[in-house]
Chain A
Amino acid sequence: MKRILMIGLMASVFQLGCTTTTGRVLDIGEETQLQKRTYESRIFDTADKEKVLRATISTLQDLGFVIDRADFVLGTVSGTKYERYQIKVTVSVRPKGNGRLMVRANAQFNVEPIADPEQYQDFFSSLEKSLFLVAHEAD
């Protein structure tokens, strides 16, 4: 009896362990994918991808990030900020049709994803100032 109980306990511990890892890899949370995308993205009324990417790089540098890598074709920029903490961010810029571009950012603070819409709002408002353009909420 004791043995069966032990095996059952071990099995459930392993089961729980697996679920947690999968959950972490897929970042399964209370938010839906759409909710996340909405606060992580903005639309800019310009088709100049290079200008937006350069402004993104300059904004990240202003914010104290050191650029890790940038890719014009993929339209991505990644950076890391080291203070008493670590923030990592990846920004992607892609065409949205009708001369518009969609900018999306996702960031992590130490070992947690940043899920506060206000932080993303701050980032886009910093980017707006660098671009002299207004950011619109994604459709």
Chain B
Amino acid sequence: MTKKFTILVVTILVIGCSTLPHHAFLVTPEMLAQRQLETRRYDGIKEDDLLLACANLLQDLGFQLESSEPRLGVLTVNKQRSATNASEIIASVILAMLTGKPTPYSKDQSIRAALVVSPVYGSNGTASSDSYYVRITVQRLVRRTDNSVYVETLRDPKLYEGFYEKLSKSVFIEAQKI
């Protein structure tokens, strides 16, 4: 019975991993809610100054610049960091003691982010020259101790709140030319 269940779970996981969702390219209401979380509006600043403030902050946060296209307001960055956390290691040790097999846990990670500055469009469809949206999206690729890899998009609201709190300071510094 247990064996059958295991086979069923494995099959579901395999199917889940290998099938493209039916409407992978349609924007859903959940995606729009996520947009709210990832976006902030900044007024009274030029696009170049805002982009500079963003680039400075990303460097403050230890990111390496991967590519940039100022004409489209795009910055892409990445950094490599440890991914170990105590609770996962403890859980892995307990599981290893119970099963008698070593259980892999997260070892290191590559964090990637794309930051996009885009103009706010007025009701007549023209782009504003001093009001812009900043949107950052973050994902990570984690390597476990057995060298297996898993990937995920980060959606923790606290991450975005923390980022924009710092950006507001960075924008202020940029605006004051400090």
| Interface, chain A (partner B; CB < 8 A) | 50, 53-54, 57-59, 61-72, 77, 79-87, 109-110, 114, 116, 119-120, 122-123, 125-126, 129, 132
Contact = CB atoms under 8 A, between A and B. Distances in A.
A40 to B, nearest CB: 12
Given A67-B74, A82-B151, A125-B26, A114 B20 contact: yes
Given A58-B116, A61-B135, A110 B18 contact: yes
Interface stretch (B64-72, B82-90, B96-104, B156-164): B64-72
Contacts, number: 105
A61 B25 contact: no
A66 B72 contact: no
B16 A84 contact: yes
Given A62-B27, A63-B27, A110-B18, 9 more contacts: A57-B116, A61-B114, A61-B135, A66-B153, A68-B76, A70-B72, A84-B17, A87-B20, A129-B27
B73 A54 contact: yes
Contacts of B152: 82-83
A109 B76 contact: no
Interface stretch (B3-11, B137-145, B167-175): B137-145
B31 interface: yes
B118 A54 contact: yes
A71 B69 contact: yes
Contacts of A81: 153
B153 A57 contact: no
Contacts of A72: 69, 71-72
Contacts of B41: none
B23 interface: yes
B18 to A, nearest CB: 7
- In the A-B complex, the 7 residue pairs with the smallest Cβ-Cβ separation, listed nearest first, are A82-B151, A67-B114, A123-B25, A122-B25, A72-B71, A69-B67, A70-B74
